[in-house]
Amino acid sequence: MSEFSLIIFDDETINSFLFQQCDLNQHIALNPCFNMLTITNATITDIPLIREITYRVWPTTYIPIIGKEQLDYMLNLFYASEELKKQMEVSGHNFILCYSDETPVGFASYSELEQGIYKLHKLYVLTETQGMGAGRMMLQHLTKAIKQAGGNLLRLNVNRYNTNAIAFYSKYGFRHSSDEDIDIGGGYYMNDYVLEIDT
């Protein structure tokens, strides 16, 4: 006698699968180990995990753009445990985690800036799992939540030289709004594009 299991997929899993099939048609290689993606809300107990993902992603992404000294400065400024806790509990940032099966592969955070306008503060996916649909699935998840909350615009900042991220957001439908040069102290600046999308 053979045995089988029945798996019921939710809408987000189906959307992730359809997106992966679309990428397959565009010759993006898929790893079956990362086909089952899920999203959960993060809490302060997940701060060590958020920091771990960040410290794995940032060096590869940002050292070629801003150098190690500014990278270390920004990690201490924005990703210290107490700072992340403040973002969650005081600043009202909503954090989500993306899992492949039970393996965390990325996270994102967003908050409302003013009525109807939200900002995507962070969205990172482990380098080795990029291209599997995790980033797009997190965007779909949070844009749906923003729309349900009455939001009509999502805004983000991206480094002007982070060409991979710019291409990713452009593919999703974000448009260029303006440029910003933000003084973050220590003699460092964030040289960003501001991108927006209607939700």
120-171 pLDDT per residue, tens: 999 999 999 998 999 999 999 999 999 999 999 999 999 999 999 999 999 9
- 20, 35 in Cβ contact below 8 A? yes
Domain ranges in the chain are: 11-198
| Helix residue ranges per DSSP H, 26-109 | 47-78, 81-89
From residue 51, give the alpha-carbon distance in Å to each of 25, 34, 61, 105, 147.
34, 21, 15, 12, 28
May I ask the CATH architecture of the domain 11-198? 3-Layer(aba) Sandwich (3.40)
Residue with tokens 């995790």: 134
Helix (H) or strand (E) segment spanning residue 23: helix 11-25
Low-confidence ranges of the chain (pLDDT < 70): 1-35
pTM, rounded to two decimals: 0.81
Q: By C-alpha distance, which of 3, 21, 5, 25 is closest to 13?
A: 21
How many whole angstroms separate alpha carbon 100 and alpha carbon 197? 27
Q: What is the pLDDT of residue 34?
A: 43
